[in-house]
Amino acid sequence: MTSDRRCFGPGLLALVALCTLSPAVSAADMDAAVRDTSIAAIEQALAEHRYRVADLAAYYIARIGALNQNGPALRALLEINPDWQSLARGLDNELGDGDPTTRGMLFGVPVVLKDNIDTADRMRTTAGSLALLDSSPSRDAFIVRRLRAAGALILGKANMSEWAGMRDFNQTAGWTGRGGQTRNPYDPARSPGGSSSGSAVAVAADMSAVAIGTDTAGSIIGPASLNGLVGIRPTVGLVSRSGIIPIAESQDTAGPMTRTVADAATLLTILAGYDPDDPATARLKDRPPPDYRLALKTDSLKGARIGVLRDYVHPGVDEVFERALATLRAQGAVLVDPIAFPSAGKYEDDDETVEEYEFKEDIRRYLATRRGPGPRDLAGLIAFDTEHAADEMPYFGQDVFTASEQRGPLTDQAYRDAHQRVRRLTGPEGIDAALEKDHLDALIVSSAGPAPLIDYIAGGRPRGRRDSGVGFTRPPAAAGYPIVSVPMGSVHGLPVGLSWVGTAWSEFQLIGFAYAFEQAAHARRPPGQGVVQ
């Protein structure tokens, strides 16, 4: 087969970007103004006309040219929006001498999308797989329409773990047949985490202002932690999944990946909302979600009762975790330490059963919406990978695909029983029971350990498990509950995060807690200059 995997020439992009800067703005000026910036800072700079949207986009395009396939070859981006210049000029023309705040909460802000989020433009949406190169989505995903309406500039598509980690039990995080291996900007020999690998690296390495990831069981939280970012996995039903390549309908969601809690709150406010094409969002029709920016208060932790899930703290982060607990106490939180998770060891097999059943049906329905040739069901994807094994399976196979294909319809009693048990054990008899027992407002645990070395033999995870060891991402995911991860420090120069877990629809409270901790701890450190200068 033939395919253009690179999708863009990084040297050419860097040249185009530098030539696009307005005469009044130098590359050095842009670097000083934009490096590690925030949505609020972009808004202010545009309002004061210190640079244009086109200058901002060109800055990120130059960074991509220097870092994505050149330099440390982070491979975070699969492709750049070929219309980025015209879109940026259009936003500049719309702004004129006006105020960007009147034109949308994300006016002019470059956003990178994970490559499983549909865009009906000249970019592809492939979940990192060569199997979808020849077909295309019929329309933008619901969340993409909301981003565009808020004034965002969709800058490009991010690399990921192929099929969001659903192809093989021993899959390597951050690798796709289409884009190769995404690398961690703190140490390119180490894993970026999965499956929202490229989304995380793009923001951490300053190749985008913010990014959108998706999460089925840790795919936002893990990469956010390993790349020193804030990540939010929302309650299932808060953010529409229509137009997103699925894994499991009962667990899938999309969410923000940003440098700060404030940016994540802004993005979530835009993403959340009722979509008639996603029944899970039905409750939002009459009860719209709040403006999550209102949760950003530094005294949110005062008097909050927080349960410490010590049994799930990752190896190697103990010292950093203890410092985080001390910060929480200093901010007035009441820690109940430790607490037990009542359903530990009772739900895991059912969880994987549910994913395998749902993926087979969900991917069939999704593929039917695409235009053009290509596989139309899971059996077709398996056949494609087998035929193109040299490109698609040089390091790992498709055991999860095969296991899912062997599952029956969603009417099977085995599926119905597993789904009911896993929801009950992780939700009412799991997280809710733990919160209620000690009258807790939230649970905390480390988000992930330090980034492991990229390993094409072991795949970076225990064989036979689709998570990364002892973390606590799967119970909230299986329950459909939210998690917020925020940087809590570093171990040997590698970032690690602190996760906040609550019951369904508790994002506002969790964001408040995460913000208060962030503002007190100041724990995030950008990647070292030697890697991503």
CB atoms within 10 A of CB 190: 18
Question: Residue 108 is encoded by which pair of tokens?
Answer: 């002019």
Q: Which of 135, 197, 208, 219 is catalytic?
A: 219
**Shortest CA distance to 96 belongs to which of 46, 60, 169?**
46
Catalytic residue chosen out of the listed positions 135, 195, 196, 208:
195
Residue 219 annotated in active site? yes
Return the structure tokens found at 341: 């998770």
Residue 289 is encoded by which pair of tokens? 């979600």
Q: What is the 3-state secondary structure (H, E, C) of 4-67?
A: CCCCCCHHHHHHHHHHHCCCCCCHHHHHHHHCCCCHHHHHHHHHCCCCCHHHHHHHHHHHHHHH
CA–CA separation, 290 and 312 (whole Å): 31
Active site residue 195: yes
Cα separation, 463 vs 39, whole angstroms: 40
What is d(CA 256, CA 210) in angstroms, rounded to the nearest whole number?
8
Structure tokens at 22: 């307005």
Catalytic option among 114, 161, 191, 360: 114
DSSP classification of residue 109: -
Go through 359-378 and write b for each residue having 16 or more CB atoms within 10 A of its CB, e for each that does not: bbbbbbebbeebeeebbebb
Question: Is residue 213 a contact partner of residue 220, using CB atoms and an 8 Å limit?
Answer: yes
User: Which residues lie closer than 8 Å to 164 by C-beta, 6 or more apart?
Assistant: 116, 127, 194, 195, 214, 216, 219, 245, 247
Whether residue 446 lies in the annotated active site: no
DSSP labels, 439-475: T-SEEEEES--SPPBP-TTTTTS-TT-SS-SS-SSHH
* No. of helices (H) and no. of strands (E), the chain: 19, 13
Distance CA 100, CA 108 (A): 8
Which two structure tokens, joined as six digits, stand for 86? 């015209």
Alpha-carbon distance of 71 to 10, in angstroms, equals 10
- Which helix (H) or strand (E) segment holds residue 343: the answer is none
C-alpha separations of 46 from 98, 139, 211 in Å: 9, 30, 20
What number of other Cβ atoms are within 10 A of residue 249's Cβ? 19
Q: Which two tokens stand for residue 321?
A: 């975790």
From the list 338, 328, 264, 289, the residue with the least C-alpha distance to 513 is 328
CB-CB contact of 480 with 379 (8 Å): no
Beta pairing class for 253-258 and 210-215: antiparallel
**Distance between CA atoms of 486 and 397, rounded to whole angstroms?**
33
Catalytic residue list: 114, 195, 219
